[in-house]
Structure 1
């Protein structure tokens, strides 16, 4: 059961990331004028090879000063001025934008790309996987966990980069699966806590879209290796 759960979680996460990459390259929300372009407008000092990015990831795993890193972590967790600082950074970036209308249009297309990806993944891909494995209607399953969906929507929040909606929804999800769908408690009590922690399909999708979207906004064309590096590094 553990191996099956891990294979499912990893597979759906990879599928979500690939879907995000396909959509962002197809819709091209960052700069529609670059659609179909094969040239790279990045300057030489902006070009980073896949090997450089991978080695940079390894180097960043180890802080230069362990004591300083510990103190910074504690201060960041307890800082009450973070909202003011973040708001100031955002305000400064907005003030520096030359063409606000164009940037707003690009951000709107970015949101559309992410939403379309989530709808395809949650409304088509996951039900198809459910039907292929169980040969049962996914609509019956979805109706049984509808209350868990509503609870997740109402409690969706992020703090310290840790998604909390899945954790807060766990009691309701347990009840929906065990009482409505009659699933064995031994399965739900093992699979759900793991899934609430590591199964982040939506995060994988929107982060893939965000990274390539930023490159598109800066007129940087990424090759296949760079796209894989950006997504997984």
Structure 2
């Protein structure tokens, strides 16, 4: 009996040692939810909530500051990674459309008046063109914190005067209908005034958020050119390799702050909710759609792609990405999670280029 207990304790100890950070992260999310709902009963002021969120804000800042060096200085981010990024993004869009068509998340929520929302409207063509524009950023520095976004406005054409309306736009159709006896004819007039013309106006704009796609394409192109330069580009290559190693060492320290910061980050988001019950009713189907889509894409489709490409077990692959998937779900930041991909020399980890999986899974 004692031998069996010792064996169980040794196995539990090994599991905690190998997955200690993952276990702490899961507990941090649970503790953050419980703490957030408990503090809602204390009726904290808006300023107190901001002070409470400060440790979580530090976590997001530390994650974002290391993203640019990790993307630009990693020698493994090449054209294959860019192609993989675009392909998985395309697959994620298809999965999202299928999930929305099946679940219909907007059916349970109240419809909001689009005219009062004040949000810019974008067509599919503009969205596709913006994606291509973001692949080639005009300002690399601006791409680190902003993306190109076309703003579209729909305006009604000014109405003509009464005289112009009657002479140019108003049309009437007069027709007669006999009664049942066929003796009396009743005349009716049908107004055929055309609907008002809608003017579409587009203008250039930006949206907050890192242009990851543009930075990756620039970094891949720069890496290819440095490789073709030979000895002339060795100085910059050595600099990028040294910077990449330094960033990885910094990230290794930052990840141990994650369980502490995520408690305040999750609890702060719960405190910001005006009415969690009402929001849960309105966004319940939406949350179910998002969760099922993420589970389907992150735990089934991507591992299946990994199996067909590498012919290796996807179970080992999933073990290597659990930490990054949890960070993506907890922080709602796809780019921050890519830095938590295990190193390729670990026996259970996926290739380094797979860090962009988590960006595509959150699209």
Q: TM-score range by the shorter chain?
A: 0.3 to 0.5
Please identify which structure carries the higher helix content. Answer: 1
- Structure 1 or 2, whichever has the larger Rg, is 2
Provide the TM-score with structure 2 as the length reference: 0.33
Please identify which structure carries the higher strand content. Answer: 2
Provide the TM-score with structure 1 as the length reference: 0.48
Higher relative contact order (CA 8 A, sep 6+): 1
